[in-house]
Structure 1
């Protein structure tokens, strides 16, 4: 689960950086990267939810 949290943190940092570039500078490529990161975050969060539920049942 610790590995999963590290992946989520790294992906969120990438999302924040790219989203800020899009908002501040109008960088369209950064917007594309931010949207891709948001999809990855969604998948990672679903994995976290499953892992969290499994751990709570122990």
Structure 2
């Protein structure tokens, strides 16, 4: 379950920057959001690979 906790922690860490960007128009916060979302994308791809490997190894 640690992978899930990593994703949740990443999203939680971005919460303040989301608010700063969307509510206050802070462009630097927007850059941090984009970088954080890219990290989430990479994490999601790694999780998908891991799930596929585990699923296929049990056959």
Q: TM-score normalised to the size of structure 2?
A: 0.80
Aligned residue for 1:7? 6
* Structure 1 segments of 4+ aligned residues over 6 angstroms from their partners: none
**Runs of at least 5 residues in structure 2 that lack an aligned partner in the other structure:** none
Unaligned regions of 5+ residues in structure 1, if any? Answer: none
Query: Which residue pairs with 1:40 in the alignment?
Result: 39
Greater relative contact order: 1 or 2 (C-alpha under 8 angstroms, separation 6 or more)?
A: 1
Aligned-residue Cα RMSD (Å) equals: 1.3
| 18-27 vs 7-16, greater mean Cα deviation | 7-16
Q: How many residues are paired up?
A: 57
